[in-house]
């Protein structure tokens, strides 16, 4: 195990969907890799009165379904440190949690750090934060908030004001798992460590940037959350804006956490507010028939938008963003489309020169280039090459594994700040006002509303060409 300080990790919403799909599998992955502290406890919290042994059985079921099935030896070492505190957790009644935290910290030692992980709906962020203050569980601790951290600039400021009455900024980790992806981090590595890439990473060489995250899945398992949020709040102002910032940022002074955050915040503040005329919102045909969804719901399950970054490096280069549910294909793709070179040696506009990052799993880097076609004539042809990042070396970590490890270490470089989020909501604000586009329907299994095709340049959506 690592030399990190002893840790009590409190997981709020421990039996919920996010915890079972992401957080608990990541925590066990850290254990299996030997990256947890030598002394640790994970305390689940929820409304039910669940015995420790029953919670352990739940975690084993979760790992079997969503994670890595533990060996008998691994489970024997992991399970005893899983505990559950029932009775909920509110300012007026802390349930079993305060006593169990006191007990576990006494067992692990006075130096044990306390980490609060809020795997709860956004509506519970403020009440849980207030409860942490009322039960004196905030001092010297760390706290992790999921996204969306606020649903507008005003609600962000309101939530952040409350959070900062309880925690110092250095204690707060606002998680966006797209920043923890191996392939997202490789955007930095490829750009800053390779001169042949870094020198063309600007408007003089790049014609368009596409960030495309279509999904084939529906929302049946999270209907209540999704109907209150929609694609634009769930994905656009969070994940897709953050990936755009990773592409558009200026080189940081260093890769220290504070310099990485500053570089990301600075470029997000240069995002031009979205023009509603450059945004398409959609809803798949069967959405309103989903259990728990109102018959007249106007929630968007699809969003496509053109974003402009007003810096010298990127001025007049469109960043075209798209995501949606129940689409024809599923992917997580960042593509840089290069300008046609001067002179006759190019593919006559049939296929662009592309450098793309597949953000799923361990990640891939894809290149599409123009070369000479075999044969006697000097004519261009196209070739593509794929570099699988899992072939570079074993040991890639899933985003939540990587980010929870950073929380344990206190490394905030891949976490969002309130300044950066405020800038993102400023750019997003036109979609919350009276000029918000109408939501149009689209067939399940399609690529979404046809109106989104006008947002791209001369090559269209690259994923739709594959």
The residues annotated as belonging to the active site are 239
In sequence order, the β-bridge partners of residue 144 are: 117, 173
Cα(97)–Cα(86) distance, rounded to whole angstroms?
Answer: 7
372 is in an annotated binding site: no
The kind and range of the H/E element at 114 are strand 113-118
79 is in an annotated binding site: no
14 is in an annotated binding site: yes
17 is in an annotated binding site: yes
The kind and range of the H/E element at 439 are strand 439-442
CB count in 10 Å sphere of residue 373: 12
453 is in an annotated binding site: no
Which string of DSSP letters, residue by residue, matches 276-344? GGGEEEEEETTGGGSTT--TT----SEEEEEEEB-STTTTT-EEEEEEESSBS----EEEEEEPPPSSS
325 is in an annotated binding site: yes
Which string of DSSP letters, residue by residue, matches 165-201? HHS-GGGEEE--GGGG-HHHHHHHHHHHH-HHHHTT-
119 is in an annotated binding site: no
CA angle 139, 144, 146 (to 5 degrees): 150
215 is in an annotated binding site: yes
177 is in an annotated binding site: yes
- In this structure, the strands spanning 439-442 and 40-45 are unpaired
Instruction: Say what angle helices 24-33 and 399-409 make with each other, to 10 degrees.
Output: 70
Would you say 59 and 82 are in contact if contact means Cβ atoms under 8 Å apart?
Answer: yes
363 is in an annotated binding site: no
Cα(243)–Cα(416) distance, rounded to whole angstroms?
Answer: 12
Whether the upstream peptide bond of residue 148 has omega within 30° of 0, thus cis, is yes
At 35, is the secondary structure helix, strand, or coil?
A: coil
Cα(90)–Cα(384) distance, rounded to whole angstroms?
Answer: 56
Question: What b/e readout covers 330-352, taking b as 16+ CB neighbours within 10 angstroms?
Answer: ebbbbbbbbbeeeeeebbeeebb
47 is in an annotated binding site: yes
Which string of DSSP letters, residue by residue, matches 116-145? EEE-S-GGGHHHHHHHHHHTT--TT-EEEE
86 is in an annotated binding site: no
- List C-alpha distances in Å: 81 to 10, 32, 48, 97, 244: 12, 14, 19, 15, 40
Residues 6 or more apart whose CB falls under 8 angstroms from that of 114 comprise 7, 8, 10, 101, 105, 137, 140, 141, 142
Extract the annotated binding site for NADP(+): 13-20, 47, 147
């Amino acid at each position: 195990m690592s030399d990190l300080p002893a840790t009590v990790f409190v997981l709020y919403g421990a039996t919920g969907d996010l915890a079972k799909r992401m957080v608990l599998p990541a925590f066990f992955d850290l254990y299996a890799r030997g990256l947890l502290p030598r002394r640790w406890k994970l305390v689940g919290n929820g409304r039910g009165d669940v015995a420790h042994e029953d919670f352990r059985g739940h975690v084993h079921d979760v790992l079997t379904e969503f994670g890595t099935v533990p060996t008998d030896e691994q489970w024997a070492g992991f399970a005893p440190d899983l505990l559950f505190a029932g009775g909920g957790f509110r300012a007026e009644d802390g349930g079993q949690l305060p006593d169990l935290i006191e007990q576990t910290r006494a067992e692990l030692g006075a130096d044990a750090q306390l980490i609060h992980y809020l795997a709860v709906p956004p509506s519970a962020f403020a009440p849980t934060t207030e409860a942490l203050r009322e039960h004196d569980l905030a001092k010297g601790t760390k706290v992790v908030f999921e996204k969306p951290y606020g649903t507008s600039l005003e609600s962000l400021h309101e939530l952040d004001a409350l959070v900062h009455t309880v925690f110092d900024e250095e204690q707060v980790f606002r998680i966006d798992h797209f920043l923890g992806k191996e392939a997202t981090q490789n955007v930095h590595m490829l750009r800053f460590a390779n001169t042949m890439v870094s020198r063309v990473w600007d408007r003089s060489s790049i014609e368009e940037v596409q960030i495309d995250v279509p999904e084939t899945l529906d929302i049946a398992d999270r209907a209540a959350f999704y109907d209150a949020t929609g694609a634009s709040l769930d994905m656009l102002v969070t994940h897709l804006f953050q990936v755009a910032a990773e592409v558009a940022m200026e080189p940081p002074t260093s890769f220290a956490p504070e310099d990485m955050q500053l570089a990301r915040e600075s470029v997000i503040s240069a995002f031009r507010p979205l023009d509603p005329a450059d945004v398409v919102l959609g809803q798949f045909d069967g959405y309103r028939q989903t259990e728990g969804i109102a018959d007249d719901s106007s929630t968007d399950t699809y969003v496509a938008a053109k974003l402009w970054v007003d810096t010298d490096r990127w001025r007049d280069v469109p960043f075209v963003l798209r995501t949606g549910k129940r689409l024809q294909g599923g992917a997580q793709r960042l593509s840089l489309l290069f300008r046609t070179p001067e002179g006759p040696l190019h593919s006559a506009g049939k296929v662009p020169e592309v450098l793309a990052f597949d953000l799923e799993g361990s990640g891939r880097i894809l290149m599409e280039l123009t070369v000479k076609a075999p044969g006697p004539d000097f004519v261009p042809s196209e070739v593509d090459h794929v570099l699988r990042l899992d072939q570079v070396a074993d040991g890639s970590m899933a985003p939540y594994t990587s980010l929870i490890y950073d929380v344990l270490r206190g490394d905030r470089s891949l976490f969002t700040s309130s300044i950066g989020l405020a800038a993102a909501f400023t750019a997003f604000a036109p979609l919350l006002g009276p000029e918000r586009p109408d939501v149009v329907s689209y067939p399940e299994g399609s690529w979404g509303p046809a109106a989104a095709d006008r947002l791209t340049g001369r090559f269209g959506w690259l994923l739709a060409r594959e």
